Structure 1
């Protein structure tokens, strides 16, 4: 029976080993994406601590600064943190990439970051909420995951100075994400990664069967790495012993990763939880103007007024992310994150009439259906962000180990082949 499981373990590993190694390596890079991005460009995200009497400038003033920085830009959303040292983030759509107006990668969108908080208000993740938005991906590609949003411009809330711009597609993290999700191969690449992930689940399962010791003495040997042994024995221990300790985490990461590879997997989540997958359409604003010149026609709320309304509805939050209306009938979507939120995308949302500020629809995170909440947990579990830094460190270590297992496993296989050939040669000589 062991030979049967060993053959399954071996051949599946040979077929998918390279893909698994790349996925684990890129996953390790992406674990601390948000922290690395903020460490490399702190001026984008933070300002000097303001004086006690300092008050932020009106959002209209900040928007004027963004328009001066990018004259052709269309502002689609704004994200305001309650932390006084955070900059205000403006999401753009179809904007030039620089202040001189040269168009570059129009429509490229900096995402929430693969494994971090959203870079802008329009990039508020719809993970776990079902519907079409949940599966929008790179460049609008269905099921892709991250990427595909316009630039984000960061503005000092006290001076209206533009402190930086983020174009996600131009960062190393976008390349890592493209490799992680689809080996930069589009839909075919996504399919290859998905199939390799399914194989990886069987590899982990058969590996645990092969690891299972027959005696208590063997159990002790398979729980410790003998660092002083020869390189072949050390390679064997690194694969067997560390593989056991990492198996459960790798299985969870691989299983949750299927949600970004297969639509049927997502549908299965909602089917098992008996929850509707499709989100209801956003409500429309009740009062719509006929023409701008019509006497008494309703006037759309200013961004400042919408923010005031949002603060009234949710006074104690980490941030307010406003998605501005696309046309005269759209509503204003406000996403807020509570300080005690379960994870980073466990946001509450409210839709406001863009003319009256009236609440059209409101939903807390707890009011999402079970399928949305289960699906929403996949990303923080998959990235290791579910418990903050401790789980992220575990995720990093496990991803690095996952990268080494195809290497140590290949060496094990080659050593076994050489040993078998020597035996055959001895038999022939005899």
Structure 2
């Protein structure tokens, strides 16, 4: 029976090994994407607090002066006084910036929670309007939206601009999800991930010791052995310790490869995939002359007024992400993150009338349906961010090990072929 499982393990590995190695390596890089980005460009994200922060209207003027044709779609303000204010700009018409919606269970917003990464990364999922699958740019839907402009809240100085598509992390993500091959590449990665699940399962069967005496040997790397024995132990022993983590990472990764997988989550949880349409604003007959126009909301509520209202509703939030209305009847969406949130995108949201500031609808994270909450957990589990730094370190180590297993496995296979040829020659000589 083990011969049968060994053949499955071998041939699936030969077919998908290169893809698995690339996915694991790029996944390891992306685990600490936020931390690396902030370490490389701290000036974009952190400032020295001085006096009271300037109004958002003043910061918006600075963005407009910096880029005359800029169309501001969102503003993100952190409770931390040492953080910059992030302005999200619209993308080119018909390009990545025109995407709507998001992955099921993930908050929809056009602002980015930590620098270059948006809450839904520009993905188009079932819960968006008419969204079926991801339709981003190259690399399996990692199109993103427009650039982010970082502004010092105390001086209104524009510190810099970031377009996610121009970063090394975009390339890593494109490789990770689709080998930079669009829909075909994304399918190849998805099929390889399914194969990887079978590889892990058959690997556990092959690892399982026949006797109790062999257990110790399968749980320890013999560092003093020859290179063949060391290569064998690095594959077998470390493969056992990382198998559960790799299985979880691969399983959750299917959510970005196959639409049927997402539909299955909502079917099993008996939850609707479609999110309700945002509430509409009731335009007044005549706008009050003292109400200043906010970007994206002519004759409506100012961004400062919307932020003040949001702070009244969630005074302890870590950040306030305002999605500004694009149409006269649209509402202002505000996403907030509580200090004790389960994960980074476990946001609460409130919709405000863009003219009166009246609360039109609220939804806490706990009020999302079960399918949205389950699907929302996939990203922090997949990236290892679910328990902060400890789980991220584990994720990084496991991803690096996952990169080595196709290599050590190929070496084991070649050694076995070489050994088999020697035995045949001995038999022929005898």
TM-score over 0.5 for the alignment?
Answer: yes
Match of 1:396 in 2: 396
| Structure 2 residue 113 is the aligned partner of structure 1 residue 118 | yes
Query: 1:173 maps to what in 2?
Result: 169
Whether the aligned pair in 2 keeps the contact of 1:211 and 1:222 (CA below 8 Å) is yes
Per the TM alignment, residue 363 of structure 1 is displaced from its structure 2 partner at its CA by 0.1
Contact 2:150 2:161 (8 Å CA) reproduced: yes
Aligned length: 409
Contact 1:73-1:94 at 8 Å conserved across structures: no
Which segment is superposed worse, 144-153 or 257-266? 144-153
- Please state whether the residue corresponding to 2:75 is helix, strand or coil: strand
* SS, match of residue 360 in structure 1: strand
Deviations 1:330-362 (A, max 9, x none): 100000000000000000001111001111110
Aligned to 1:35: 35
Contact 2:88–2:147, Cα closer than 8 Å, also in 1: yes
Task: Give 1:310 shift.
Answer: 0.7
User: In structure 1, what is the Cα distance between the partners aligned to 2:405 and 2:285?
Assistant: 63
Distance 1:327 1:249 in 2: 45
Distance 1:243 1:121, change over 3 A: closer
Give the secondary-structure state (helix, strand or coil) at the position aligned to 2:219: coil
Q: Tell me if 1:207 matches 2:200.
A: no
**Distance 1:194-1:135 versus aligned 2 partners, 3 A rule:** same
> Which of residues 61, 64, 76 is equivalent to 2:61?
64
| 2:71 equivalent to 1:74 | yes
- Please list, as runs of the form range in 1=range in 2, the aligned pairs for 1:228-267 lying within 5 A after superposition: 228-267=224-263
Give the whole-Å Cα distance in 2 for the aligned partners of 1:417 and 1:70.
63
Distance in 2 (CA, whole Å) between partners of 1:144 and 1:289 is: 46
Q: What is the aligned partner in structure 2 of residue 9 from structure 1?
A: 9
Q: Which residue number corresponds to residue 52 of structure 2?
A: 55
Cα distance in structure 2, aligned partners of 1:232 and 1:140: 44
CA shift for structure 1 position 288: 5.3
Distance (Å, rounded) in 2 between the aligned partners of 1:108 and 1:352: 23
Could you state the TM-score of these two structures normalised by the residue count of structure 2? 0.90
SS in structure 2 of the partner of residue 316 of structure 1: coil
- In 2, Cα distance between equivalents of 1:8 and 1:43: 51
Residues 135 and 95 of structure 1, relative CA distance in 2, 3 Å threshold: same
Task: Write the distance in 1 (CA, Å) between the matches of 2:192 and 2:85.
Answer: 41
Instruction: Return the alpha-carbon distance in structure 2 between the equivalents of residues 170 and 322 of structure 1.
Output: 25
- Which residue does the alignment assign to 1:102? none
Cα deviation, 1:54-78, whole Å, max 9, x if unaligned, reads 2100000000000011000000000
Q: Secondary structure at the match of 2:28?
A: helix
For structure 2, the residue ranges without an aligned partner over 5 or more in a row are 103-111
Change (3 A) 1:391 1:271: same
Match of 2:278 among 276, 282, 286: 282
Q: Are the aligned partners of 2:124 and 2:133 in contact in 1 as well (CA < 8 Å)?
A: no
1:419 and 1:106, CA in 2 relative to 1: closer, same or farther beyond 3 A? closer
Separation of aligned partners in 2, 1:45 and 1:263: 35
The 1:233/1:222 distance shift into structure 2, 3 A limit, reads: same
- More displaced stretch, 128-137 vs 83-92: 128-137
Q: Is the 8 A contact 1:129 1:368 kept in 2?
A: no
Aligned counterparts of 1:428 and 1:55: Cα–Cα separation in 2: 88
| Matching residue of 1:90 | 87
Q: CA RMSD in A?
A: 2.7
- Displacement of 1:136 after TM fit? 6.6
In structure 2, the residue matched to 1:409 is 409
Report SS of the residue matched to 2:346. Answer: coil
TM-score, normalised via structure 1 length = 0.90
Tell me the secondary structure at the aligned position of residue 55 of structure 1. coil
Aligned counterpart, 2:128: 132
Q: CA deviation at 1:137?
A: 4.5
Match of 2:107 in 1: none
**Runs of 4+ with >6 A deviation:** 126-129, 133-136, 290-293
What is the aligned partner in structure 2 of residue 22 from structure 1?
Answer: 22
Partner Cα separation in structure 1 for residue 342 and residue 91 of structure 2: 34
Q: Residue 76 of structure 2: SS of its match in structure 1?
A: strand
Pairing 1:164–2:160 present:
yes
Post-superposition offset of 1:291: 10
Deviations 1:348-393 (A, max 9, x none): 0011110011111100000000000000000000000000000000
Q: SS state of the match for residue 374, structure 1? A: helix
Superposed, which structure 2 residues align to 1:142-153 within 5 Å?
Answer: 144=140, 146-153=142-149
- Cα deviations by residue, 1:13-53 (Å, 9 ceiling, x for unpaired): 000000000000000010000000000000000001x24xx
